Amino acid sequence: MAELISSGTGRGAVGRQVRLPLRQALAIALRSLKLRLARSVLTFLTITMAMAFLVDVWITNALDPTVRNAILIQRHIPVVVAVRRTREIWLVVLSLLVCMVGISNAMLINVMERFREIGTMKCLGALNSFILKLFLLESLGLGVLGTLAGLLFGLAVAMAVALNHFGAVFWTLAPWGALAGILPACLAIGPAITVLAALYPAWKAACMEPVAAMRVEV
Amino acid sequence: MVTPRTASLESIAPAAGREEIVRTIDVVKEYRVGDQVLRALKGVNVTIYRGEYISIMGPSGSGKSTLFNAIGGLDKPTSGKVFIDEVDVAQLDALELAWLRCRKIGYIFQTFNLITVMTALENVALPMIFAGLSEADAREKAKAILERVELGHRIYNKPSQLSGGQQQRVAIARAFANDPAIILADEPTGNLDLNTGKAIIALLKRMNREQGATVISATHDLKMLDVSDRIFWIRDGMVEKIQNRAEVVIDAGEMH
């Protein structure tokens, strides 16, 4: 008899919610980005600029001493050890941090604005993990797009400056292997910092009570 | 102790519609405001039966919303118990609560609360997808429900392209998506004009009759009295009186 009661077919039985529709979360995340286009574009640009800065500094720092030394050796001039440009590294780290704070704030505003939507979804049966996914996907989307744009922009700037500085000889002397390693690293760093920045806002959204849907005042 | 056999017999042939769907036992809710304790509910005992249309009435600050939220499993009482369909809500974990909200309860809000980025069809389909239906099945069923609330021609519209009354119709369709036993409507006519409000009340009543779902509505709207089977009057954190429709109609007659 006890078995029959716990088998959960009659009245008085409660099941456990398990469904995790990722595609729905993705669709909602993408459309939410479009709905808040101005803010999305601003966040996108922040990531783009920060990543472009990172790529540019990284490539230039790898390129400059190598190519310069190669040129010096070619002309039989003794090589002086180059001073690492630590100030630029400070600036890059700072810019990435500022970028993270910006994303975090934008997402927090997003979450606060959408309290009713989040509460409603929870009333409809959404799990915390669904809400978490919603906001992390939104952030990840911006992160990937912003990083790709930043990568192209930073690469273009670094190459143009190097070409202008060293002339055509740069093409033959540049350490292409080392440069090729920088791009995938940046491709990982960009989305990683955007998702990291969105963790707290997304968690805050996920923990929101369904009763938030009932709130009338904003 | 009720055996499963008699329980299932009951659900086939309820004794004249007297099958319990919600019961509250000595529900007390206290809020801390600074170092003061505010008692929003001071021990509420009500029983609601399957298929009923209940209105919870009372002035703001009476504890009406607190009681409503407790019944809906949205708020845990400080003490006392709330049973929904024979299940003690306080005993449920997060996953079970989500399951309950998804399948047993349909929510209707004063501010409609449609997901702005989704079409009417997608809004109605969403709770079904949360319940595990495939997207195709959910859309098909959502379409059928939208036709029943007379919005078959606007299923691809976003909420911003719909009037308030139409949005509330979509919300009603969404609330009925998973054939819930209980519909909780929080001031469903609060943001609507007189005639639209009337139409929404009529629709709720019709769905209540056709689907057999219990409708529980927290409201200020006296238009609701006409369709309610019983009215709970809440004052000062307690149930002041419970009236059935006939009594209310007589009362209203005396007022004129």
Q: Residue A26: is its pLDDT beyond 60?
A: yes
Mean pLDDT of B134-155: 94
Which residue of chain B comes nearest to A33, CA vs CA? B117
Could you tell me the sign of the dihedral formed by the alpha carbons of A14, A20, A25, A27, in that order? negative
Average pLDDT, rounded, for chain B: 88
- pLDDT at position B7 is 39
Q: In A134-152, which positions are buried (b, 16+ CB within 10 angstroms) versus exposed (e)?
A: bbbbbbbbbbbbbbbbbbe
Whether residue B2 is predicted with pLDDT greater than 60 in this model: the reply is no
Beta bridge partners of B37: B32
Contact present, A147 and A47 (Cβ < 8 Å) = yes
Instruction: State both tokens at A202.
Output: 């997304």
B112, pLDDT greater than 90: yes
Residues above pLDDT 90, as percent of chain B: 74
**Segment A108-147, tens digit of pLDDT:** 999 999 999 999 999 999 999 999 999 999 999 999 999 9
Which of B21, B89, B92, B109 to mutate against chain A (most A CBs within 10 Å)?
B109
Q: Which of A19, A210, A213 sits opposite B132 (nearest CB)?
A: A19
pLDDT at residue B45 above 90? yes
- Per the CB < 8 Å rule, is B126 touching A121? yes
| A131 min Cα distance to partner chain B (Å) | 12
Query: CA nearest B244: which of B256, B221, B227, B223?
Result: B227
B130 close to A (CB below 8 A): yes
Contact flag A35-B99 (C-beta cutoff 8 Å): no
Mean pLDDT calculated for residue range A35-61: 93
Residues forming a β-bridge with B30:
B39
Chain B partners within 8 Å of A5 (Cβ): 4
Residue corresponding to tokens 């604005």? A113
- Residue B227: the pLDDT is 92
Could you tell me whether strands B53-57 and B230-235 are parallel, antiparallel, or unpaired per DSSP bridges? parallel
Q: Do B118 and A125 touch (CB under 8 A)?
A: no
Chain B hits for A213, Cβ within 8 Å? 107, 109, 113
Residue A9 has pLDDT above 90, yes or no: no
Average pLDDT, chain A: 86
Backbone angles phi, psi at B49, to 5 degrees: -105, 155
- CA B214-B218-B219 angle, 5° bins: 125
Which of 27-56 (A) contact B at CB < 8 A? Answer: 28, 31-32, 34-35
Of the candidates B7, B117, B130, the beta carbon closest to that of A19 is on B130
**Closest CA–CA distance from residue B18 to any residue of chain A (Å):** 15
Question: With contacts defined as CB-CB under 8 Å, which chain A residues touch B130?
Answer: 17, 19, 21, 124-126, 130
Residues 6+ apart with CB under 8 A from A188: none
Quick one: which of B218, B52, B58, B201 has its CA closest to A214?
Answer: B218
Report the C-alpha gap between A139 and A15 in whole angstroms. 32
Q: Give the pLDDT band of residue B5 (cuts 50, 70, 90).
A: very low
Q: What is the pLDDT of residue A62?
A: 85
Strands B36-49 and B105-108, how do they pair?
A: unpaired
A4 pLDDT above the threshold of 70: no
> Distance (Å, rounded) from C-alpha B243 to C-alpha A37?
52
Report strand pairing: B214-219 vs B53-57. parallel
pLDDT beyond 60 at B253: no
Helix (H, G, I), strand (E, B) or coil at A150: helix
Residue of higher predicted confidence among B209 and A88 = B209
Q: Is the pLDDT of residue A5 over 70?
A: no
Q: pLDDT value at position A77?
A: 80
Helices (H), chain B: 4-12, 64-71, 94-103, 120-130, 135-148, 164-175, 194-211, 245-255
d(CA B244, CA B45): 17
Contact between B96 and A127 using a beta-carbon 8 Å cutoff = no
Q: Using an 8 Å Cβ cutoff, are A30 and B28 in contact?
A: no
User: What pLDDT shows up at residue B217?
Assistant: 95
pLDDT attached to residue A75: 84
- Per-residue pLDDT at A19 exceeds 80: no
Place A100 in a pLDDT band, splitting at 50, 70 and 90.
very high
pLDDT at residue B118, as a whole number: 93
